[in-house]
A = this chain, B = another copy of it.
Amino acid sequence: MESPRTALEVRAATDADWPGIWAVMEPVVRAGETYTWDPGTDEATLREKWMHAGGHGRTVVAVTHGRVVGTAELHPNYGGGAADVANAGFMVAADHAGRGVARALAAHVLDLARAYGYSAMVFNAVVASNVRAVRLWQSMGFAVVGTIPGAFRLPSGDRVGLHVMHRFL
């Protein structure tokens, strides 16, 4: 019997993966709990944001038994003198949370970032109440280098901080 982790493949995304990626992404964005994006953002805008068409960005998917269960994207955090620091985004299907999908995606994306010559990776806005994400990144060598106090309003109305998390590659 195959374990879910063994069956997981992480590979470059293609245009054909978009419907599967969107199925993962839409509920995450609509929930408005973990991304600093308008929860009402339309599919075309999000597709453009997530599906990097070459250049300095890359998009990957985690696939198990033919289904996209997670996705990630890698891009330069800023330009100019800061262009060798990467940023990345990650999303996992709710019914696959806690099965190592995010960790597998992160390991892949960190390898990609090293291969592209990035010297570090930073997340600018990790919602502090997203404890699962904060712990995952800490376990993968990221440190909270600062927190923007109360900068994120949850759908409940509660305000939480936004962590800046960083690691060298």
Contacts and interface: CB of A to CB of B under 8 A. Distances in A.
Among A77, A150, A151, A164, chain B packs the most CB atoms within 10 A around the CB of A151
Contact of A148 (B36, B154, B166): B166
Contacts of A35: 80
A36 B146 contact: no
Interface string A129-169: 00000000000000011111111111100000010101010
In the A-B complex, the 5 residue pairs with the smallest Cβ-Cβ separation, listed nearest first, are A146-B146, A36-B78, A36-B82, A81-B153, A38-B79
Contacts of A124: 124
Interface of A: 32-33, 35-39, 41, 77-85, 119-120, 122, 124-125, 127, 144-155, 162, 164, 166, 168
A78, A83, A150 interface centre (most CB from chain B within 10 Å): A78
A150 B121 CA distance: 11
Given A145-B147, A146-B147, A164-B146, A152 B82 contact: yes
A119 to B, nearest CB: 8
Contacts of A82: 36, 125, 151-153, 162
